[in-house]
Amino acid sequence: MRTPKTIKQILEEGTSFLEAKGKENARSEAEKLIAFGLGLPRVDIYLNFDKPLAENELEVLRGHFKERVAGKPLQHIIGEVQFRYLKLKVNEHVLIPRPETELIIDLALKAIKPDDRVLELGTGSGCIALSIAKEAKLQLDAAEISEEALQIAKENARINNVEGVNWLKSSWFEKVNKKYDVIIANPPYVSLQEYNNLPVEITKYEPKGAVTDEADGLKCLKEIIFEAPKYLKEKGSLLLEIGFDQEENVAELLKKAGFKKISFKKDLAGKTRFAVGQFPDKLAELGE
């Protein structure tokens, strides 16, 4: 009779399997897949290192490892991702929140004053809107065109006990009828040419419309930048996540749209990732 494999053995074999398939964080991913597959907190793997696994448990784990090497994102397999102080549900209907996007929250928190009116466009999983509502303790609006994504965002609000977001089903500003002090957007800014060369983890499993504008990467940014002044209060700010090579083009678009005090911020990798523009007040415009 074959000796049952232990959690320790599966962790070692799973790590080697993922490494052989080119996964950079193989050990960490193996831990997460095993913890999820067995319904254990991650730390409990090490507290149960010598626990023998039943054949049905091994089958579940093998299935998860096979999905991972086939390209399915780890976050989709386990169904969630940690983003700042939130645990978010994700699936094929929403973009998986990237670590660099956490930095736009820091920019927003610096820009937002206690009584400001705030709008996020293209909220997806709700990661930006929910983080701001939770950390700044304010009410804000969040717009999203995808009904499936909106349902995920609302569920994430419930999971994290955040009640400060008013959800709008809207394509950018389509259903927006207020003016705001701060507007935030992380639109699709990958060109179609770039998109076609992205890994299968993105092209097969994440919503195409959340990644690429199916044009030059500037289409959605242009729409938002030129429409935003109609929905900004005097001295209101527009915060955008952009592609690392789009600074020059975005700066030109912001200037053409009438924005002042334009600045760009880098991500943790030192790449330009965020654009900030302030729409001038009428008195300042007259004085120029």
What pLDDT is stored for residue 52 in this prediction?
95
pLDDT by residue (tens digit) across 43-85?
999 999 999 999 999 999 999 999 999 999 999 999 999 999 9
**What is the reported pTM?**
0.93
Select from 95, 1, 4 the least CA-distant residue to 53. 4
Select from 86, 72, 3 the least CA-distant residue to 33. 72
CA distances from 286 to 35, 61, 147, 248 (A): 62, 67, 43, 27
Planar angle of CA 206, 210, 216, nearest 5 degrees: 120
Q: Is the CB of residue 131 less than 8 Å from the CB of residue 123? A: no
Average pLDDT, the chain: 94
Q: Is the CB of residue 124 less than 8 Å from the CB of residue 140? A: no
The dotted CATH code for 94-287 is 3.40.50.150
Q: What is the DSSP letter of 97?
A: P
Span 261-280, mean pLDDT?
A: 94
CA distance 77 to 28: 14
What pLDDT is stored for residue 283 in this prediction?
39
CA distances from 69 to 33, 57, 283 (A): 12, 19, 59
What pLDDT is stored for residue 1 in this prediction?
57
CA distance 89 to 81: 7
